[in-house]
Each structure stands twice: as structure tokens, then as C-alpha cells.
Chains A and B, each alone.
Chain A
């Protein structure tokens, strides 16, 4: 289709200019928060995410039908080290790219025989926070080759596509305008390394998918459903874009 070809050309030329967008100046999300928020994040007791990490830690050992996460995976501090830094990833069992929360549910349903945990529930966020913590400080390292490549491309295309009533693409803010201010807020690079995170505006933790949905809402676009291909594809692209950046989950954000 003619429009599609021109579109693709525009996308790829913009991509070449912006991929990687910050060429050596990659900055984690915490660098764009206030001093108070950064202090809160780095205090392992005062960081509200610690409540959910503790919940996840308890869930890890809890028996369900005589089985538990610990039953297969042992000590999470060993077995989950580096795992979150490799998600999203192509999962042969699922037949597609999935993020960490979907992987957790795969285990909950398939491995424990329990009911799927709801998106944004305390239970799921707790487990995700606990597992992500085991990758803190480790570099993001996702695979985009082979079966993951098509999803990565879809995520990249979406990242550079203008959407919503405000007609903005992710790149307009997070590549072209990071470091500039909108009211009192400094625009970040949109790095995904802090999630799941405690967002002060939500007064509770949330997943990266929730934050991305909020971005869609922010440019007055319809929000993709939780677990939709659009969101996973974006997550994969963002993780690739953040490659090498140290994980900082579970973070605190305004």
C-alpha cells in the first residue's frame, strides 16, 4: 500500500536518527525525579514498594495445592537473579513474546494449578516486585532476534507513530524533549528499568503496562488493553532501547 510504504520510510529514517536515541547518555527514570523521590526510592525501608516486595516474598514460599514457587525455584535470590532483566522475551510455551507478569501467571496457573492473578493486583505486583528486585543493578539484556524480532519491530513502529488527539509519538517527548520541563515535571527518557514502581499519583504500585496505558491516555489516545500485543511489543522495544542500563526496580515515581 502506497501510504504504508511512505509511512515505513518515514519511520525507518526517524528510527535511524534516534536508534539508540541518547547515544551514550542513557539515563534511568530516577534521574528525572525530585531529590525527595530519589531518597525515598533508595531507602529500602521507607520505599513503599518494600511492602509489596515483602508480600511477594511471602507468596513465593506459600504452598498452594502442596506446591509453591520455592518448590521449583528454590531461593529466589539465586534462581531469579538476572531474570527480570531479560524480560520481555519469547516464550516457546506461549508461542509469543511475553512480559514478566505473564510469565508469573504462566507458573501460577500451569505450575501451581491456581487461578490467574489479576493485572495490577497486590498479589501479582508483589511477586513482580520481588522478582524484579533480584535483578537490581544488573544491565537490561533482552533478546530481539529470531522469534522475538517481529514483536520488537512492531514495538519500534508504535514508538515512532503519532497517536491520539495530541498527535504525539513516544519519540517526540522521550527522545526529542527529554530533560525539558512540562510545568514542574522534567520529561524523562522513558526508560522502563524502574518498573513495577510506586507512583505517587496512583498512591500505589503499578506495572509498566499501567504506566504505558497512562501515556496513551495522556496524549488522548485509546488505551490498549492489559496484555495486548501493542503493550508487550512496546515493552520489548523499550527494554531493547534501555539495553545496558542498570535495573532499578522497584522504583518510586511521581
Chain B
């Protein structure tokens, strides 16, 4: 078996199946954030974004969110917004919580269209806002079957 030929061919295949993720551009998400905070500048930090530093696959990436908050009637998180700047639709989801939640935590699985920063904006009681970001490297396999059924 000609090993070199095999390798050359596999590189060609990979290049030909240009990953859609690479074609996605980083979008300007400032207007999205502005709409959430009604123009106010959110405070940095206070949000733990649990995302793998390297996601093997952009189709399903586990996400956990934790906002520091006593979750009392007086001081609690009302909503958490997740924004993915390189996704074709950057607004991923908005979670609504309250003092009845006990903790400001949520877990889900999201899609990531390529390596990018995920931005999380938390809306707190008393019209306060917090913001945090996390970079995720999104990889791809080579044996993509283009959804062949």
C-alpha cells in the first residue's frame, strides 16, 4: 500500500469538505448586549462559565452556568442570556430564574459554529447586570458524512 498516497488523498478530502465553521465570521454582539441592559454597562465577573476549553465537536457542547447570588427575594438573578459571537444566530438562549430557584445555575448543551468566545449576561434584581466571557476552541472530525442518510 502506498502510504504517502493515502495521506495526500486524505488531506485533499479534508480541504474539499471545507468546514462550515471556518466560514462563520465574528459578529458584533454589542447591540444584543445593549438590548439586554437597556444601554447600561454590565459589571464584569461573578459568572462561572463551564465550557470545555477544547470541544471535539461543535454539534453538542456541554455548558454550565453559575452566577454568584444569594437568590433571596431582595437579591437574585432574574435571567441569564447566552450569546455565541460566531454562530449564525448569536442569541443562543435566555434562562429565567428567581428566588424560587435557590441557586443561579443552569446546565444545557449548545452548538458552537467554530472556535469563538461565548458571552454570558446576567440580569439581576434591582436592574443590575453582570457579564463574563469564555473562549472555546472547537475542533472537527475528518470523517464527516454530510448527514448522508
Contact = CB atoms under 8 A, between A and B. Distances in A.
A232 to B, nearest CB: 19
Given A36-B52, A182-B14, A254 B57 contact: yes
Interface in B128-149: 139-149
A35 to B, nearest CB: 8
A184 interface: yes
Nearest to B61: A36
Contacts, number: 71
A182 B10 contact: yes
Contact of B56 (A172, A214, A223, A254): A254
Interface stretch (A62-70, A130-138, A198-206): A198-206
Given A184-B56, A184-B139, A185-B143, A214 B148 contact: yes
A59 B6 CA distance: 46
Interface in A178-203: 182-185, 200-203
A184 B146 contact: no
B140 A183 contact: yes
A170 interface: no
A202 B147 contact: yes
B74 interface: no
Given A185-B143, A214-B148, A217-B146, A166 B55 contact: no
A213 B143 CA distance: 12
Interface residues of A, number: 29
Contacts of A202: 147
Interface in B22-52: 52
A156 interface: no
B149 A120 contact: yes
Nearest to A200: B59
Interface string A107-129: 00000000000001000000000
A120 B149 CA distance: 8
B18 interface: no
A201 B144 contact: yes
A220 B10 CA distance: 11
Question: What is the size category of the interface that chain B forms with chain A?
Answer: 20 to 34
Contacts of A182: 10, 14, 141-143
A201 B143 CA distance: 10
A71 interface: no
A182 B13 CA distance: 11
A138 B68 CA distance: 46
A201 B144 CA distance: 8
A210 B149 contact: yes
Contact of A37 (B6, B9, B56, B146): B56
A62 B149 CA distance: 28
A168 B6 contact: yes
Contacts of B144: 201
A166 B148 contact: no
Interface of B: 1, 6, 9-10, 13-14, 52, 55-57, 59-62, 139-149
12 contacts: A39-B62, A166-B13, A176-B1, A184-B140, A185-B140, A185-B141, A200-B57, A201-B144, A215-B143, A217-B148, A218-B145, A254-B141
Given A167-B9, A214-B148, 9 more contacts: A36-B61, A40-B60, A172-B6, A183-B14, A183-B142, A200-B60, A201-B141, A213-B148, A215-B145
